[in-house]
Amino acid sequence: MKISEIAQAINGEILTKNHDNELDIKSACSADLMSDVMAFSKENAMLLTGLINPQVVRTAEMMDMKVIVFVRGKKPTESMIELAEEKGIALIATEYPLFEASGRLYEKGIQGSGEN
Amino acid sequence: MKKAVIVRDYTIPANDFTIAGEASSNVRKILTQLGVSPNVVKRASIAMYEAEINAVIHGKGGNAHVEIDENKIYIVISDEGPGIADLELAMQEGYSTAPDSIREMGFGAGMGLSNMKKHADILDIDTEVNRGTTVHITVYFNSDKKI
Ligand SMILES: Nc1ncnc2c1ncn2[C@@H]1O[C@H](COP(=O)(O)OP(=O)(O)OP(=O)(O)O)[C@@H](O)[C@H]1O
Ligand SMILES: [Mg+2]
């Protein structure tokens, strides 16, 4: 799915400016514990989380993730948005809780693990 | 022919969650610019990031020293924090002494040390109670270790 399609599927707002809308996102991981993301997520290009702090963006950077979805109406700070833009990571905010946001994207074909 | 060796040193501030990861991020950028394969870049940066976060949350901050030559990256993360009394226990998945405040920040699942071992080609840890901890990570550029 393209980033714009992902945002649409979860009524989300894209918060970063310079994302690459040609990217085709195929798999995702949902977690509030970054430790688990680093230990268990393999080739996922997208992270869904209810956690807000700069290490979420850092974790995504180290994991080669291209999109972070913040759930439950949580909004990242300005400095997190700047950091994400610098790293070419798209940030999306949605009102849906983690389970529902994940479910909506799964329904559209996003997988739990795979080749990006 | 002798290729230049890149050496970098970073300070890792204690308990600063906004800056934590800067050193790993910088090293990641250098490796990417050198054209190192994405799998190796990812492994080296995850291992270093785990060690950097540990120095921040457990070790009262410290230093990172990085050497890159044509074959490998060698990373040393050292701190003068409390040290690890039982390293074998600490290496086990799920073992963590992190307080709830750290867990609220998304860390402290007790996965970091085993994750470092998984991603590094060589992992050496020197630690002494009340003295500090030094983590040595080596990742070879031609290693085909998969995560
Ligand atoms: N640099 C360090 N100084 C002192 N103690 C450490 C250090 N690194 C690790 N430890 C000890 O080893 C334990 C396990 O470390 P590990 O990185 O595996 O897990 P964690 O940091 O607690 O959680 P996670 O890495 O999953 O976020 C820590 O909880 C801590 O007690
Ligand atoms: Mg850790």
pLDDT tens digits, B43-94: 999 999 999 999 999 999 999 999 999 999 999 999 999 999 999 999 999 9
Ligand 1 lining (C-beta closer than 6 Å): A 35; B 50, 54-55, 58-59, 79, 81-84, 90, 95-98, 107-113, 133
Does residue B1 carry a pLDDT above 70? no
Q: Is residue B146 part of a domain?
A: no
Q: How many domains are contained in chain B?
A: 1
The β-bridge relationship of strands B62-68 and B6-12 is antiparallel
Query: Per-residue confidence at B2, pLDDT binned at 50, 70, 90?
Result: low
pLDDT tens digits, A9-48: 999 999 999 778 889 999 999 999 999 999 988 788 999 9
Domains of chain A: 3-112 (3.40.1390.20)
CATH number at residue B84: 3.30.565.10
Give the pLDDT confidence score for residue B64 in this predicted structure. Answer: 98
d(CA A66, CA B101): 28
Burial level of A17, CB count in 10 A (0-12/13-18/19+)? exposed
Alpha-carbon torsion (B81, B136, B16, A69), positive or negative:
negative
This prediction's pTM: 0.95
Three-point CA angle A74, A75, A79, nearest 5°: 145
From chain A, the residues in CB contact with B147 under 8 A are 42
Contact B96, B115 (CB under 8 A): no
Q: Is residue B96 part of a domain?
A: yes
- What is the interface pTM, i.e. ipTM, of the complex? 0.92
Is A33 in contact with B50 (Cβ distance < 8 A)?
A: no
